[in-house]
């Protein structure tokens, strides 16, 4: 099919009308209690009318110390459900997107200022907090994180579960577990950040143990009809770090646990990473994980050209395409892609008047 | 560098300075329930402010229940309506844009279908679906077109009440935080149907001569001017021509614009049409790019009043040229913005005016500037 990007895609009982996903992107615009603001309503409301099949909301913290910044969203408290439910309800209209949410813990990279304010580490006196990591190994330049013991880990897992329950209450159609970009779960996976000598460290089995345990328990708790995926950093881009081969193993294990897709991002564990960025630069790794693990993959990263995105699908390198900055730049990206690829444009009724094929309808 | 482009230069009307000259043209969304503003409107209008539009004009909003065009139209005639509009203007202002609202009475075109349901009179199917039918009102008991409801001709008492309704809505809008009030005198709705001889067959002081047909719109313009703060500009959207022989003409519009200016109206927003048999406005005209700009130009030059140009203005370069040629003071963009809510920001980039994404709100700008650097390095 020439317009594969615009063909439906099914995961469990969720049939996405097309393969276009709005990638989760932190907005750093929550209030001090981790609550959504009108920024989120406008931002996600608009994106839900973008024509994408699925919008995944930004990294949302399962505990307060799991926020990247004091302005990140949270789901550690029941009071945080209502604002998110309002956004999900907004998207319950014809031709709007399905809504997913990314559950996250920022680990040893938490407690920083908004990036446009410099992104510097915040001390506790500046409104920051103590960091957590798989081991007491700091991200270079940051404070040493607290290394969780078994009790801590159980508490954190339960926080993930409580947040998951709230995500279900808010009505989300899909959950994505954030295990990428150097955040908490990623610090377990990577040998660069995990020097534990207990059951949660050491060889790849040990390092995968906690993230897989979290996924397993979340999957068991999440309604069987709703899909759940995991975002991973497919490589640390550092010699001796986590790599594509490790990701294949991880994906195989996730598949057994009922994971519906892995989103293939990369990097974030070390400032020593050597990345060659360019259009579709993470797609080769996505294709490899897909081919070797048999798990569906979501490609992400510099995929804002619809022809490139469509070709990734046609060449069977990925199953879904996540578009991030392309959507920020053009909030009707999927309409415009539909014109390019002659795919079906999903347009909410009030916007039909601007549909190129309908310009002669009465306004 | 930004001052090199007129479209990106600020402009002031009374106490209000617009950050740039691009205006979101008022476009009905037909998605209110019981006239109430909802999250769709919040998202919809908020997004254009996020997109850098200088003035976000909220769609035609009814001054009374009967004045809604459709069951999906907004209303602002009660204190109960106020908090939602307040929240909306707060969102618009938070992105640095100014907020306007177009206040309207649908007249004999009220009680109609939402645009995407046909834009005609309500049918039995519509009513079965839950749409409410009501009898519209107009200057005369002349229906808009065959098959449309016959409007109730407004009595003099009703006309006086209508004046108070417009004032009430304008004052509520001002309290809700709107910076500018736009009076809707176009597109075949109530006040335009007083203007045009095609709809107004009255024999009293509100019908007959041009002077009489202009009486009610001018009274309301003066009422608004008297009631609102001196710092609040009043704009008026007109149909510069009916496009119909024997109808309202551009010559009439020049006279009306002069009189509106005397009444304290600050800008004439020059659209056209609305009395053709099919469609709410001009959709069956042979429209082309910039087709209404000559109206803005003529009114501006001959009535010596600021104007806004609207209608099939597609690119930043076109908009800039309209201003540079002195044809209008503001440019309203409608469907192009629906199709691309980042239209203003994209124009700025295309014109080389915003290389570093400084016109974007911070949560977008920082992502995009990193992205642009990465792409540039490829």
Q: Tens digit of pLDDT for each residue in B158-205?
A: 999 999 999 999 999 999 999 999 999 999 999 999 999 999 999 999
**Segment A212-229 mean pLDDT:** 98
Q: Would residue A183 show up in a list of annotated catalytic residues for this protein? A: yes
pLDDT at res. A361: 38
Do residues B67 and B109 touch, judged by C-beta distance below 8 A? no
How many residues are given for chain B?
Answer: 378
Structure tokens that stand for B88 in this block: 């909306």
CA distance A130 to B151: 70
CA torsion through residues A178, A33, B48, B18, sign:
negative
Q: Is the pLDDT of residue A76 over 60?
A: yes
H-run or E-run covering A232: strand A228-233
pLDDT at res. A1: 62
Smallest CA–CA distance, residue B88 to chain A, in Å, is 9
**Mean per-residue pLDDT over chain B, rounded:** 94
Residue with tokens 């002349």: B142
Domain membership flag for residue A120: yes
Q: Is the pLDDT of residue A7 over 80?
A: yes
CA distance A241 to A193: 9
DSSP for B331-365? EEE-HHHHH-TTHHHHHHHHTTS-TT-TTS-HHHH
Residue with tokens 């503003």: B37
Residue with tokens 């192009």: B336
C-beta atoms of B362 and A114 within 8 A: yes
Smallest CA–CA distance, residue A278 to chain B, in Å, is 6
C-beta atoms of B338 and A43 within 8 A: no
Question: What's the ipTM?
Answer: 0.93
Q: Is the pLDDT of residue A359 over 80?
A: no
Here the CATH number for the domain that contains residue A117 is 3.20.20.70
Q: To the nearest whole percent, how much of chain A has pLDDT over 90?
A: 93
Confidence of residue B3 (pLDDT cuts 50, 70, 90): low
- Cβ burial of A157 (10 Å; 0-12, 13-18, 19+) is middle
Domain membership flag for residue A142: yes
Nearest to A363 among B40, B283, B341 (CB): B283
Q: To the nearest whole percent, how much of chain B has pLDDT over 70?
A: 97
Smallest CA–CA distance, residue B117 to chain A, in Å, is 9
Residue ranges of domains in chain B, CATH in brackets? 2-341 (3.20.20.70)
Three-class secondary structure of residue A74 per DSSP: strand
C-beta atoms of A41 and B46 within 8 A: yes
Which of A247, A84, A265 is closest to A183 using CA atoms? A265
Q: Is the pLDDT of residue B300 over 80?
A: yes
**Segment A26-53 mean pLDDT:** 97
- Ramachandran region, residue B182 (left: φ > 0; alpha: ψ -120 to 50; beta: rest): beta
Q: Name chain B contacts of A27, Cβ cutoff 8 Å.
A: 363
pLDDT tens-digit series, residues A278-318: 899 999 999 999 999 999 999 999 999 999 999 999 999 99
Nearest to A29 among B114, B363, B374 (CB): B363
pLDDT tens-digit series, residues B307-356: 999 999 999 999 999 999 999 999 999 999 999 999 999 999 999 999 89
pLDDT at res. B1: 41
Q: How many CA atoms lie within 13 A of A239 on its CB side?
A: 0
H-run or E-run covering B192: helix B190-195
pLDDT at res. A362: 36
pLDDT tens-digit series, residues A122-141: 999 999 999 999 999 999 99
Query: For chain A, what is the radius of gyration of the CA atoms?
Result: 20
Three-class secondary structure of residue B145 per DSSP: coil
Structure tokens that stand for B16 in this block: 């209000």
CA distance A99 to A61: 17
CA distance A116 to A28: 10
Do residues A55 and A44 touch, judged by C-beta distance below 8 A? yes
Query: For chain B, what is the radius of gyration of the CA atoms?
Result: 20
pLDDT tens-digit series, residues B33-80: 999 999 999 999 999 999 999 999 999 999 999 999 999 999 999 999
Confidence of residue B371 (pLDDT cuts 50, 70, 90): confident
A interface with B, Cβ–Cβ below 8 Å: 25, 27-29, 38-39, 41-43, 45-46, 49, 86, 89-90, 93, 114-116, 277-279, 302, 324-325, 328-332, 335-336, 349-354, 356, 359-363
Domain membership flag for residue A354: yes
pLDDT tens-digit series, residues A185-219: 999 999 999 999 999 999 999 999 999 999 999 99
Residue among B24, B283, B363, B370 with most chain A CBs within 10 A, to mutate: B363
Q: Name chain A contacts of B109, Cβ cutoff 8 Å.
A: none
pLDDT tens-digit series, residues B285-299: 667 889 899 999 999
Contacts of A311 (CB under 8 A, 6+ apart): none
pLDDT at res. B279: 45
C-beta atoms of B39 and A27 within 8 A: no
Domain membership flag for residue A230: yes
Nearest to A25 among B47, B367, B377 (CB): B367
Nearest to A360 among B283, B334, B338 (CB): B283
pLDDT at res. B286: 62
Domain membership flag for residue A151: yes
Q: Is the pLDDT of residue A357 over 90?
A: no
Q: Is the pLDDT of residue B2 over 70?
A: no
pLDDT at res. B295: 97
Domain that holds residue A16: 4-358
- Nearest residue on chain B to A278, alpha-carbon basis: B378
C-beta atoms of B374 and A302 within 8 A: yes
Cα angle B155, B161, B167 (rounded to 5 degrees) comes to 145
Domain membership flag for residue A225: yes
Confidence of residue A360 (pLDDT cuts 50, 70, 90): very low
C-beta atoms of B94 and A302 within 8 A: no
Q: Name chain A contacts of B42, Cβ cutoff 8 Å.
A: 38, 41-42, 45
Structure tokens that stand for B110 in this block: 């009220």
Catalytic residues of B: 189
Confidence of residue B275 (pLDDT cuts 50, 70, 90): confident
pLDDT at res. B377: 80
Domain membership flag for residue A121: yes
**Segment A95-123 mean pLDDT:** 97
C-beta atoms of B29 and A43 within 8 A: no
Please count the structural domains in chain A. 1
pLDDT at res. B375: 79
Residue B133 CA, distance from chain mean position = 25
C-beta atoms of B364 and A115 within 8 A: no
pLDDT tens-digit series, residues B10-23: 999 999 999 999 99
C-beta atoms of B363 and A43 within 8 A: yes
Query: Which one from A28, A183, A210, A261 is the annotated catalytic residue?
Result: A183
Does the pTM exceed 0.90? yes
Residue with tokens 């081919």: A291
User: Could you tell me how many CB contacts below 8 A there are between chain A and chain B?
Assistant: 122
DSSP for A300-347? ESS--SHHHHHHHHHTTS-SEEEESHHHHH-TTHHHHHHHHHTPPP--
Nearest to A45 among B27, B43, B375 (CB): B43
CA distance B307 to B322: 11
Domain membership flag for residue A363: no
- Produce one character per residue of A244-268: b if its CB has 16 or more CB atoms within 10 Å, e if not: bebbbebbebbbebebbbbbbbbbb
């Amino acid at each position: 099919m020439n317009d594969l990007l615009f063909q439906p895609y099914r995961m469990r009982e969720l049939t996405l009308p097309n393969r276009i996903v709005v990638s989760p992107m932190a907005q750093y615009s929550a209030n001090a209690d981790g609550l959504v603001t009108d920024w989120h309503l406008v931002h996600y409301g608009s994106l839900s009318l973008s024509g994408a099949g699925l919008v995944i909301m930004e990294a949302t913290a399962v505990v307060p110390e799991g926020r990247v910044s004091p302005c990140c969203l949270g789901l550690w408290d029941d009071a945080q459900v209502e604002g998110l439910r309002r956004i999900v309800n907004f998207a319950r209209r014809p031709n709007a997107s399905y809504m997913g949410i990314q559950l996250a813990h920022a680990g040893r990279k938490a407690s920083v200022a908004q990036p446009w304010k410099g992104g510097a580490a915040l001390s506790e006196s500046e409104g920051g907090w103590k960091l957590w990591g798989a081991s007491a190994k700091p991200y270079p330049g940051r404070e040493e994180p607290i290394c969780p013991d078994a009790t801590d880990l159980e508490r954190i897992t339960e926080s993930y579960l409580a947040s998951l329950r709230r995500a279900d209450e808010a009505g989300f159609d899909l959950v994505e577990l954030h295990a990428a970009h150097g955040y908490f779960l990623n610090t377990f996976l990577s040998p660069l950040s995990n020097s534990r000598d207990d059951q949660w460290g050491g060889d790849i089995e040990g390092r995968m143990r906690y993230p897989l345990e979290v996924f397993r328990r979340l999957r068991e708790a999440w309604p069987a009809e709703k899909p759940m995926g995991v975002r991973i950093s497919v490589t640390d881009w550092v010699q001796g770090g986590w790599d594509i081969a490790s990701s294949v193993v991880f994906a195989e294990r996730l598949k057994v646990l009922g994971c519906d897709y892995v989103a293939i991002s990369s990097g974030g564990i070390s400032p020593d990473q050597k990345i060659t960025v360019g259009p579709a630069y993470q797609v080769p790794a996505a294709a490899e994980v897909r081919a070797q693990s048999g798990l569906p993959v979501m490609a992400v990263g510099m995929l804002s050209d619809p022809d490139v995105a469509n070709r990734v699908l046609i060449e069977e390198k990925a199953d879904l395409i996540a578009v991030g900055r392309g959507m920020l730049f053009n909030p009707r990206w999927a309409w415009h892609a539909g014109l390019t690829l002659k795919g079906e444009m999903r347009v909410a009724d009030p916007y039909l008047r601007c549909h190129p094929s309908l310009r002669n309808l009465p306004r | 560098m930004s001052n090199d482009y007129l479209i990106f230069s600020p402009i002031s009307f009374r106490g209000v300075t617009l950050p740039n000259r691009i205006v979101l043209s008022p476009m009905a969304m037909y998605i209110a329930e019981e006239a109430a503003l909802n999250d769709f409107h919040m998202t919809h209008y908020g997004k254009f402010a996020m997109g850098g539009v200088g003035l976000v004009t909220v769609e035609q909003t009814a001054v009374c229940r009967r004045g809604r065009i459709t069951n999906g139209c907004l209303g602002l005639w009660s204190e109960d309506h106020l908090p939602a509009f307040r929240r909306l203007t707060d969102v618009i202002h938070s992105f640095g844009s100014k907020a306007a609202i177009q206040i309207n009475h649908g007249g004999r075109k009220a009680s109609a279908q939402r645009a995407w349901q046909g834009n005609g009179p309500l049918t039995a199917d519509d009513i079965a679906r839950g749409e409410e039918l009501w009898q519209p009102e107009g200057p005369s008991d002349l229906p808009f077109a065959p098959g449309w409801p016959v409007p109730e001709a407004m009595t003099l008492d009703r006309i006086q009440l209508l004046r108070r309704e417009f004032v009430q809505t304008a004052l509520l809008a001002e309290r809700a935080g709107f910076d500018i009030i736009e009076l809707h005198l176009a597109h075949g709705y109530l006040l335009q149907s007083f203007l045009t001889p095609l709809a107004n067959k009255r024999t009293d002081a509100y019908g007959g001569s041009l002077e009489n047909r202009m009486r009610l719109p001018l009274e309301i313009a003066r009422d608004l001017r008297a009631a609102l703060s001196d710092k609040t500009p009043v704009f008026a959207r007109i149909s510069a021509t009916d496009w119909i022989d024997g109808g309202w003409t551009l010559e009439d519009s020049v006279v009306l614009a002069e009189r509106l200016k005397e009444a304290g109206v600050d800008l004439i927003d020059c659209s056209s049409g609305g009395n053709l048999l099919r469609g709410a406005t001009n959709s069956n005209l042979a429209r082309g790019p910039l087709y209404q700009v000559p109206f803005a130009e003529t009114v501006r030059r001959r009535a010596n009043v600021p104007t806004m140009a609207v209608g099939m203005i597609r690119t930043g370069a076109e908009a800039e040229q309209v201003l540079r040629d002195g044809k209008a003071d503001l440019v309203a963009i409608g469907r192009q913005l629906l199709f691309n809510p980042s239209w203003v920001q994209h124009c700025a980039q295309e014109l080389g005016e915003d290389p570093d994404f400084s016109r974007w709100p911070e949560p977008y700008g920082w992502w995009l500037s990193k992205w642009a650097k990465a792409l540039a390095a490829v």
